[in-house]
Amino acid sequence: MMTEADALALLGARHADPFAVLGLHADTDGKLWLRALLPGALTVTAVDPVTGKTIVKLALRHPDGLFEVCAARRRKRFDYRLDVTWADGQSGCYADAYAFGPQLDDTDLAALRDGNHLRPYTVLGAHPMEQLGVSGVRFAVWAPNARRVSVVGEFNVWDGRRHPMRLRHDGGVWELFVPHLGVGDLYKFELVGPDGSVLPLKADPYAFAAQLRPDNASRVAQLPAPRPLPEGRAAANARHAPLSIYEVHLGSWRHGQGGRFASWEELAHKLPDYVADMGFTHIELLPVSEHPFDGSWGYQTLGMFAPSARFGEPQGLEQFVQACHARGLGVLLDWVPAHFPKDAFGLAQFDGTALYEYGDTREGVHRDWGTLIYNFGRAEVRNFLVGNALYWIERYGVDGLRVDAVASMLYRDYSRDPGEWIPNVHGGRENLEAISLLRQVNEQLGLHAPGAITLAEESTAFPGVSAPTSSGGLGFHYKWNMGWMNDTLQYMGEDAVHRRWHHDKMRFGLVYAFSENFVLPLSHDEVVHGKGSLLGKMPGDDWQRFANLRAYYGFMWGHPGKKLLFMGQEFAQPNEWNADAELPWQLLQDPRHAGMQRLVRDLNHLYREHSALHRLDCEAAGFEWLVCDDADQSVYAWLRRDGEGREVLVVCNFTPVVRPDFRLGVPAGSSWREALNTDSTHYGGSNLGNGATRLMPQQVAAHGHENSIRLILPPLAALFLIQD
């Protein structure tokens, strides 16, 4: 018999083991009792699922909706449905959630507990399925310290009494199969914390879809089918391949009709064609995982497995990725494993304890962003993050992940004053747990997603970011070169007359250029928070600002390292990026902006077509300085090589002064000709330069070579020369 204490616990939504009393049970005398908790029901009858005939009618034990009956005529367990009449006049016949046995396999539970489940998203979360001939959704959530967990939604009027879950103690996981639910249904979890308090309703950490903000419920969705990288993508992502990345904030690239967010379908029809035409090799998307605040641009995510509802259904992202691949483009997603926001419906104090985050604020709170830091040392949290990285690669077929805020993960004293951080076990400042996690992510992706790549946004001198884990590195394929970006932008911001005093800033990057596999990033971070636009950073009058930016792009595309440019900068957006408005495409009616766009397109195609400009991007053998000490004239010149005999010569003049007779030492060999001149009228320049003239080497020694050529150096311009 059910005790009064059990009844009161059920009615008060405090029962820790509802499967012990609800559903069909035999008492000590072998009699079968059927119980159901259905607040709001008037009558409940058990019926045969095949014939629909009445088996037994349940009696109301408590007016709040607790029904029970002794099926005295039955000696064996039987299948049944509950025919319910509700107080509002509606009725229905339902399978009983408490008629289904344990949902999760013991092997899965052990792997989840130990942090060894490579794909935890196949077990946890909401999974539509059929059991015993009944369609429904299996829910599972990790909350080891909760006293009670219920799944709630529109299907049970958000009543935590209706569907309390079963605790599988071995893994600290609560589970329940809810019949008759399906794709599109909204749900959350209601938890009672260890102190007995009811927590704010929680979204599912493993949800595959979510409501559009400001609503924040999880939405039942099918787990996407595995989608391997198409043939050829691995080679296109490789170290010797050209990588030129177009960084995109989807919400403001182009809007849909009426100023709304463009849908995945609309984006798939426009964005890949544009990026491919511009000559970029990859699209990098600011985080597409669900996030409550538009102004975070996705970097404060609370739906790590859910593509944002801003752009439509999750399947739309799959179609977008396929559209990019069809145009020969790789897709990179920004991924944020460093921290998460404190919103009450999210991961913070998920089961009433510091579950996903470090418990000590000296470890668990990010001072700069007001967010919480994942507990990188906890097995289940590591499993969550490693599984999430693999999820995006395997299930959406993307080419790789750009990992955000790596520097903040690596150091325990990041942005903290003395006394505000906890040293590691050796007394040092490195976060050994985070370092181990990053290595684990990269190793697992290497094993299970060959051909995919990871890129680290890492701003310190931490050694071996892009070195293999087998040699002590972090295992990333590429690292953003933040030092190069800072130094060169500072130089370009100087008036040309003062640049001679800052000459080293443009060449210093070559001191360490081959210590990592670098990406040269001109990202969204350089055009927000009062920093203006790239064009706005350039000095001089209007003509000089455009010329400076053209020359800077030439310098960047000729420099060793892969390339990244944030959207809008390819046509010299003059104002700071506004995430709430679409890019000012009308600027392309101005020939200066259209010329800048043509330049970026041609630089990309030049970079891709000439192996000397990309094949040894990350190796010293692919670079030779010719002129690095001409501070008085602010001239730089170098050779790029592909290691197979092909060379490209790059020359930059960062003053508005024409150099009509500049002698430049070159290797012995054939003549040279201009392949690209950023001062061409085609790009908005003054059209000075060498045109189609064949530049014949003369036996006049210069810059360490026995031969040299004579050049006209245009003002504020970069030249690319190739051998005939």
Are residues 559 and 687 part of one domain? no
286 occurs within a structural domain:
yes
Options 363, 457, 647, 679, the catalytic residue: 457
C-alpha span between 241 and 171 (Å, rounded):
44
pLDDT 10s digits, 436-467:
999 999 999 999 999 999 999 999 999 999 99
Taking CA 201 as the corner, what is the angle to CA 199 and CA 204, rounded to the nearest 5 degrees? Answer: 120
β-strand 81-86 against 91-94: which pairing, if any? Answer: antiparallel
As a whole-number percent, the residues of the chain with pLDDT over 90 amount to: 92
- Final residue belonging to a domain, choices 611, 634, 662: 611
C-alpha span between 721 and 724 (Å, rounded):
9
**Pair 712, 662: CB distance under 8 Å:** yes
Are residues 683 and 572 part of one domain? no
Neighbours of 694 (CB within 10 A): 11
**Pair 422, 362: CB distance under 8 Å:** yes
User: Is pLDDT of 72 > 80?
Assistant: no
**Pair 337, 386: CB distance under 8 Å:** no
User: Is pLDDT of 59 > 90?
Assistant: yes
**Stretch 97-110: mean pLDDT:** 95
Which secondary-structure segment (H or E) carries 289?
strand 289-290
Domain hosting 573: range is 242-611
Domain count, the chain: 4
Confidence band for 3, pLDDT divided at 50, 70 and 90: confident
User: Is 190 tagged catalytic?
Assistant: no
170 occurs within a structural domain:
yes
Are residues 578 and 688 part of one domain? no
- Final residue belonging to a domain, choices 99, 115, 145: 99
User: Is pLDDT of 29 > 90?
Assistant: no
Q: What is the DSSP string of 392-450?
A: HHHHH--SEEEETTHHHHHBTTTT--TTSS---TTS-SB-HHHHHHHHHHHHHHHHHST
Confidence band for 27, pLDDT divided at 50, 70 and 90: confident
229 occurs within a structural domain:
no
User: Is pLDDT of 334 > 90?
Assistant: yes
514: Cβ contacts below 8 Å, ≥ 6 apart: 560, 618, 619, 620, 623
390 occurs within a structural domain:
yes
| pLDDT value of residue 602 | 98
3-class secondary structure, 209: coil
User: Is pLDDT of 28 > 90?
Assistant: no
Confidence band for 16, pLDDT divided at 50, 70 and 90: confident
C-alpha span between 199 and 143 (Å, rounded):
12
| CATH code: domain of residue 497 | 3.20.20.80
231 occurs within a structural domain:
no
Are residues 110 and 91 part of one domain? no
Summary mean pLDDT of the chain:
95
pLDDT 10s digits, 229-270:
999 999 999 999 999 999 999 999 999 888 889 999 999 999
- Final residue belonging to a domain, choices 41, 76, 99: 99
Are residues 368 and 404 part of one domain? yes
pTM, full prediction: 0.95
Confidence band for 570, pLDDT divided at 50, 70 and 90: very high
**Stretch 590-608: mean pLDDT:** 98
Q: What is the DSSP string of 38-79?
A: -TTEEEEEEE-TTT--EEEEEEEEETTTEEEEE-TT--S---
Tokens found for residue 722:
């190739």
| CATH code: domain of residue 16 | 2.60.40.10
Are residues 388 and 308 part of one domain? yes
C-alpha span between 215 and 470 (Å, rounded):
45
505 occurs within a structural domain:
yes
Helices (H) and strands (E) in the chain, counts: 16, 34
pLDDT 10s digits, 391-441:
999 999 999 999 999 999 999 999 999 989 999 999 999 999 999 999 999
Are residues 117 and 67 part of one domain? no
User: Is pLDDT of 510 > 90?
Assistant: yes
C-alpha span between 372 and 338 (Å, rounded):
9
| pLDDT value of residue 269 | 96
pLDDT 10s digits, 643-656:
999 999 999 999 99
**Pair 487, 509: CB distance under 8 Å:** yes
233 occurs within a structural domain:
no
Options 204, 290, 357, 404, the catalytic residue: 404
224 occurs within a structural domain:
no
User: Is pLDDT of 1 > 80?
Assistant: no
User: Is 457 tagged catalytic?
Assistant: yes
pLDDT 10s digits, 283-312:
999 999 999 999 999 999 999 999 999 999
Are residues 372 and 314 part of one domain? yes
Are residues 309 and 447 part of one domain? yes
Are residues 279 and 369 part of one domain? yes
| pLDDT value of residue 669 | 82
Are residues 420 and 567 part of one domain? yes
Q: What is the DSSP string of 599-643?
A: HHHHHHHHHHH-GGGTTTTTSGGGEEEEEEEETTTTEEEEEEE-S
| pLDDT value of residue 422 | 94
**Pair 162, 96: CB distance under 8 Å:** no
C-alpha span between 321 and 396 (Å, rounded):
7
User: Is pLDDT of 75 > 80?
Assistant: no
Closest CA to 207 of 141, 162, 263, 144: 141
Are residues 249 and 345 part of one domain? yes
